[in-house]
Chain A
Amino acid sequence: MTDIAQGSPEIVTEQPAKFAMGKSMKRKEDPRFLQGKGNYIDDINLKGQLYMALVHSPYPHANIRGIDSSEAMKIPGAVAVVTSKELNAYNVGWLPTFHGLDKQMVLADGKVLYQYQEVAAVYAETREAAYDMIELVEVDYEPLEVVNNPFKAMKDDVLLRPDREAKTNHIYNWNVGDQGATDAALATSDHVVKQHVVFPRVHAAPLEPCGCIAEFDVMGRLQFYVTSQAPHVYRTALFLVLGIPEDKIRVISPDLGGGFGNKVPVYPGYVCAIAGALVLQRPVKWIETRTENLTSSFARDYHMDIEIGATKEGKLTALKVNTVADHGAFDAAADPSKYPAGMFGIVSGSYDFPVAYANLDAYFTNKQPGGVAYRCSFRVTEASYLIERAMDIVADELKMDPTELRRKNFIQKEQFPYKSPLNFTYDSGDYEHTMDVALEKIGYKQLLEEQAEKRARGELMGIGISTFTEVTGAGPSKHFDILGIKMFDGAEIRIHPSGSGIIRTGTKSQGQGHETTWAQIVAEELGLDPQNFLVEEGDTDTAPYGLGTYASRSTPVAGGALALAARKIREKARKIAAHVLEVSEHDLEWKDYAFHVMGAPGKTITMKEVAFAAYTNPGDNEPGLEATLYYDPPNMVFPHGTYVAVVDVDRDTGETKVRRFLAVDDAGTIINPMIVEGQIHGGLTEGFAIAFMQEIAYDEAGNNLATNFTDYLIPTSLESPHWETAATCTPSPHHPIGAKSVGESPNVGSPAAFVNAVIDALSPLGVRHIDMPLTREKVWAAIRTAENAVAAD
């Protein structure tokens, strides 16, 4: 294992490199991607396939008085048009949402509830013909009053979902913590800081849109190729929707061109493709347009009011949060059943609040449904942003340095496991150390000096800190399920006679590099070469059941399953080793990646040798060397980090320039530093986009204003800052390899750092908060308002 080709990440970790783990092994999956041989959904074509396209509603809210497809069917190559009428006849007109609390129309059933809602599906011999057809499907709409925000929705003047039993736009209330004690503590605090903070509606927007091909094969079995981050969940969902037994469904998720949560939901288009394939007895292909991708789901859209109490010395006394959530037309949030607001309870963050209370009410509006966990462990991003933004406001109010306020209130490392007032048990962390590493590395003192000089000259420079804590790795099955399925994950390892092997999991990489890191975990446990493991994911016929890859759960859950499955193999290997070495298995110890006979130096056997023996000389032991294991984690994991942003603001144009950005992450044990660093870079860029550019905005009339990449802004290399990274290491005490997670941390932790930096730059003008995205105009307006206020004095 000495000459594994390694990349050279810049990230510095505190963790010692091991045998296969902790090394920046170059990615095993890359050669196919580098040569244009990835196998993405649109690269798959089945003989005789039809192309499907969808008719979308131009209205955000309307009754449908009729649909006439006769003109569309005259297009050469037209095959069929399907509406809710046909779907209802097959009982597939509606889909259950993932947490089981609502259902969603597949095609508009009598009315449309948001702009771009799917109204009809057309099937044609060519893609071009399908798009010609959708123009000619005549839909007779009767526009209705639009509810474009949750505050209007809560008045219940317009009932959006008469199909539901409860005749209200209110979906649910969720709360956690001690309201009475929190109110009492706030009433007696020296300072109470209040702020309204909006986390805008955004979209994950992977560069590859979603898509599928459905085929019923000659045996009547559904072969369903689909862009899915959770293929097994899809199989079970399809059983629930279509009533097809699971043995008659094969879900294959090929290479995914990014996901970020967008490829978790089961979209109406998938059901239409399957229905078409069933009825027309031909394979049906559907690839989203970018507009379809951007208008069929969303993330965030939380309107939050926070109150924080503090003593005059800066000790936090209480936290209270009240949130109004905009869920759009259907409650299709991808949250676990018992956690309709996801892990929003992490809102007390890295701080030791004596008491806290969080309350949330969710509403229907005439907007796209969703609430997907966009690079986020179910609403952790909203929570982390809120508390980290609010900490800066508290510091400002108390005239304290934001790092000092944080230092004074961090949960101390000896307090772990720490029971938070909002009911999480944090596993481990050393927040002060991580912050110190960050402040040292960025040169915080010097930056403060530079800032003071610049302020004296009237220049606007800001330093923003975020010392966030995440909760990831759902999760213990007693708490978490999707569609009733517990959130465990399966791993299967099979070792071949030559000491190589195959690894299968129920997760699904979308670029995270599982083909490399999974091999490293198993290789580390078994002392085998990680280059010699094939990693397979995404085929429900072969992979063990798993809940999939999202919410930063792959390493915490499947990673644990892999390590434990490997240890299961090691235990079997011990028996075979004992047989080969002719000793009792109790005389063997596993040390330095081989079995040694205790007390007999030099009498050893490697795993590679054991693997061969398992097939050639197993003795009385069952031949073969493989294991399958389902891992149900005992707790979540709690990664944390300190991020520092340095920003210059142009007074005239409102332009913000992120001059430096440092991320110090503590993800516990790191499997591959190069991949970890890459994940951090990518997540920071998405966090940057959310802070400054990305928003699914609607106008007053309910029109969606971000329906393609000319309006939903993905940063290019030129806007994106250069990222600096470092890592501290506080292993998770309960995870088999001490790993936490990292893929989402940068997206969770960075928005607050960016916004805090900009507000810090503007603070000499008296600016206290601006909601994201911090566009030039918003910053310009804040500066002008402040200047005018000064002028008026």
Chain B
Amino acid sequence: MNEVNVSMKINGKTVTGSVESRVLLAHFIREQGGLTGTHVGCDSSSCGVCTVLLDGYTPVKSCTMYAVMADGHEITTVESLAVGGKLHPMQQAFWDQHGLQCGYCTPGMMLSSIALLKQNPNPTEHEIREGLSGNLCRCTGYNNIVKAVQQAAQVMNQPELAAAADD
């Protein structure tokens, strides 16, 4: 057995485990981290439902990475987005715009969207479609995902909008 010790911060919390070197990051997050919002949908790095953020805002496919590769790194998953019961503007936008149906692609899609806005705070529809083209969705036909990202962009660029929405 090729066991390795792996330790990483997931959503700010240190998660440590002795796992086989072949364990994928997605499974480490789900099993050692107990965070099942990170999904697995294919074996070929095609679908992106396993997308998480690495060391800040770098989106990576956690099933195309071994857990041991993330040793010493920081991982952000969907579970960290809502703070104190308040949804992240991206979550709120996906809800408002009906940007999800079965919910399986949603965590990866939202994390990719957040990374996209970090890179490009005011994307056009085409730029959103390009930026999210590593994440498949089988339910929504993407129209409402685009609308959700547009809404989130608007709110995230103007935090006072988010505050006003609270009132």
Asked if A and B form a direct contact in the complex, defined as CB atoms under 8 angstroms apart, the reply is: yes
Which residues of A lie under 8 Å from residue B162 when comparing CB positions?
Answer: none
The answer on a CB contact under 8 Å between A38 and B104 is: yes
Interface string of A501-525 (1 = CB under 8 A from B): 0000000001111000000000000
The distance in angstroms between the C-alpha atoms of A42 and B46, with both chains bound, is 19
B20 smallest CB distance to A (angstroms): 6
Could you tell me which residues of chain A, from 239 to 289, have a CB within 8 Å of some CB in chain B? 255-260, 289
B14 smallest CB distance to A (angstroms): 19
Given contacts A26-B96, A258-B139, contact A709 B36 (CB under 8 A): no
Which residues of A lie under 8 Å from residue B38 when comparing CB positions?
Answer: 36
A720 nearest in chain B by CB position: B142
Summarize B's interface: helix, strand, loop or mixed: loop
Could you tell me which residues of chain A, from 20 to 78, have a CB within 8 Å of some CB in chain B? 26-27, 29-38, 40, 42-43, 76
Contact of A709 among B40, B42, B87 (CB under 8 A): B42
The answer on a CB contact under 8 Å between B98 and A675 is: yes
B151 smallest CB distance to A (angstroms): 10
Which residues of B lie under 8 Å from residue A675 when comparing CB positions?
Answer: 98
The distance in angstroms between the C-alpha atoms of A42 and B130, with both chains bound, is 30
Whether a CB of chain A sits under 8 angstroms from the CB of B150 is no
The answer on a CB contact under 8 Å between A27 and B129 is: no
The answer on a CB contact under 8 Å between B96 and A207 is: no
The answer on a CB contact under 8 Å between B142 and A33 is: no
The answer on a CB contact under 8 Å between B129 and A718 is: yes
- The winner among A259, A512, A708, A714 for most chain B CB atoms within 10 A is A714
The distance in angstroms between the C-alpha atoms of A714 and B104, with both chains bound, is 15
* Total A-B residue contacts, Cβ distance less than 8 Å: 186
The distance in angstroms between the C-alpha atoms of A8 and B150, with both chains bound, is 14
Contact of A208 among B101, B102, B134 (CB under 8 A): B102
B139 smallest CB distance to A (angstroms): 5
Interface string of A541-576 (1 = CB under 8 A from B): 000000000000000000000000000000000000
Which residues of B lie under 8 Å from residue A512 when comparing CB positions?
Answer: 101
B31 smallest CB distance to A (angstroms): 8
Which residues of B lie under 8 Å from residue A35 when comparing CB positions?
Answer: 37, 78-79, 81-82, 87, 91
Whether a CB of chain B sits under 8 angstroms from the CB of A634 is no
A506 smallest CB distance to B (angstroms): 19
The answer on a CB contact under 8 Å between A258 and B138 is: yes
Which residues of B lie under 8 Å from residue A7 when comparing CB positions?
Answer: 96-98
The distance in angstroms between the C-alpha atoms of A87 and B99, with both chains bound, is 45
- The winner among A7, A43, A686, A716 for most chain B CB atoms within 10 A is A716
The distance in angstroms between the C-alpha atoms of A7 and B96, with both chains bound, is 5
Interface string of B80-122 (1 = CB under 8 A from A): 0110000100010011111011111111001000000000000
Whether a CB of chain B sits under 8 angstroms from the CB of A674 is yes
The answer on a CB contact under 8 Å between A723 and B40 is: no
Whether a CB of chain B sits under 8 angstroms from the CB of A671 is no
Contact of A682 among B47, B91, B141 (CB under 8 A): B141
Which residues of B lie under 8 Å from residue A191 when comparing CB positions?
Answer: none
The answer on a CB contact under 8 Å between A206 and B91 is: no
The answer on a CB contact under 8 Å between A685 and B142 is: yes
Query: Interface size (A, Cβ < 8 Å)?
Result: 61
Which residues of B lie under 8 Å from residue A720 when comparing CB positions?
Answer: 129, 141-142
B69 smallest CB distance to A (angstroms): 17
The answer on a CB contact under 8 Å between B139 and A682 is: yes
A685 nearest in chain B by CB position: B141
Could you tell me which residues of chain A, from 204 to 259, have a CB within 8 Å of some CB in chain B? 205-209, 255-259
- The winner among A7, A36, A686 for most chain B CB atoms within 10 A is A36
Which residues of A lie under 8 Å from residue B98 when comparing CB positions?
Answer: 7, 9, 26-27, 674-675, 677-678
Given contacts A678-B101, A681-B144, A717-B128, contact A205 B138 (CB under 8 A): yes
Whether a CB of chain A sits under 8 angstroms from the CB of B75 is no
A663 smallest CB distance to B (angstroms): 10
Given contacts A34-B95, A36-B35, A675-B98, contact A709 B46 (CB under 8 A): yes
Whether a CB of chain A sits under 8 angstroms from the CB of B43 is yes
B67 smallest CB distance to A (angstroms): 12
Whether a CB of chain B sits under 8 angstroms from the CB of A2 is no
Whether a CB of chain B sits under 8 angstroms from the CB of A498 is no
The answer on a CB contact under 8 Å between B42 and A31 is: no
Contact of A36 among B107, B128, B134 (CB under 8 A): B107
Given contacts A717-B142, A720-B141, contact A36 B46 (CB under 8 A): no
Which residues of B lie under 8 Å from residue A260 when comparing CB positions?
Answer: 138
The answer on a CB contact under 8 Å between B103 and A681 is: no
Could you tell me which residues of chain A, from 728 to 751, have a CB within 8 Å of some CB in chain B? none
The answer on a CB contact under 8 Å between A36 and B36 is: yes
Which residues of A lie under 8 Å from residue B94 when comparing CB positions?
Answer: 30, 34
Which residues of A lie under 8 Å from residue B105 when comparing CB positions?
Answer: 207
B91 nearest in chain A by CB position: A34
A34 nearest in chain B by CB position: B91
Given contacts A36-B78, A43-B36, A511-B102, contact A289 B132 (CB under 8 A): no
The answer on a CB contact under 8 Å between A38 and B46 is: no
B136 nearest in chain A by CB position: A714
A600 smallest CB distance to B (angstroms): 43
Which residues of A lie under 8 Å from residue B47 when comparing CB positions?
Answer: 207, 709, 714
Whether a CB of chain A sits under 8 angstroms from the CB of B146 is yes
Whether a CB of chain A sits under 8 angstroms from the CB of B32 is no
Given contacts A257-B39, A257-B104, contact A678 B136 (CB under 8 A): no
B87 nearest in chain A by CB position: A34
Which residues of B lie under 8 Å from residue A679 when comparing CB positions?
Answer: 101
Whether a CB of chain B sits under 8 angstroms from the CB of A710 is yes
The answer on a CB contact under 8 Å between B46 and A710 is: yes
Could you tell me which residues of chain B, from 12 to 30, have a CB within 8 Å of some CB in chain A? 20, 22-23, 30
The answer on a CB contact under 8 Å between A682 and B138 is: yes
Given contacts A76-B1, A510-B102, A717-B145, contact A207 B37 (CB under 8 A): no
The answer on a CB contact under 8 Å between A681 and B106 is: no
The answer on a CB contact under 8 Å between B44 and A290 is: yes
Whether a CB of chain B sits under 8 angstroms from the CB of A722 is yes
The answer on a CB contact under 8 Å between A30 and B100 is: yes
Contact of B143 among A40, A510, A722 (CB under 8 A): A722
Whether a CB of chain A sits under 8 angstroms from the CB of B49 is yes
The distance in angstroms between the C-alpha atoms of A206 and B38, with both chains bound, is 16
Contact of A708 among B43, B78, B95 (CB under 8 A): B43
The answer on a CB contact under 8 Å between A717 and B100 is: no
Which residues of B lie under 8 Å from residue A716 when comparing CB positions?
Answer: 129, 132-136
A304 smallest CB distance to B (angstroms): 27
The answer on a CB contact under 8 Å between A710 and B44 is: yes
The distance in angstroms between the C-alpha atoms of A43 and B42, with both chains bound, is 16
Contact of B103 among A257, A685, A686, A717 (CB under 8 A): A257
The distance in angstroms between the C-alpha atoms of A770 and B86, with both chains bound, is 52
Which residues of B lie under 8 Å from residue A206 when comparing CB positions?
Answer: 102, 104, 138
The answer on a CB contact under 8 Å between B107 and A717 is: no
B144 smallest CB distance to A (angstroms): 6
- For the A-B complex with A8-B96, A207-B47, A257-B103 known, give 11 more contacts whose Cβ atoms are closer than 8 Å: A26-B96, A35-B82, A128-B22, A207-B105, A207-B137, A208-B41, A258-B101, A708-B43, A717-B130, A717-B135, A723-B143
> 7 closest pairs, A vs B, by CB?
A36-B37, A33-B103, A257-B104, A511-B102, A681-B141, A511-B101, A709-B46
Q: Could you show 6 A-B contacts with beta carbons less than 8 Å apart?
A: A33-B102, A35-B79, A36-B35, A36-B79, A677-B144, A685-B140
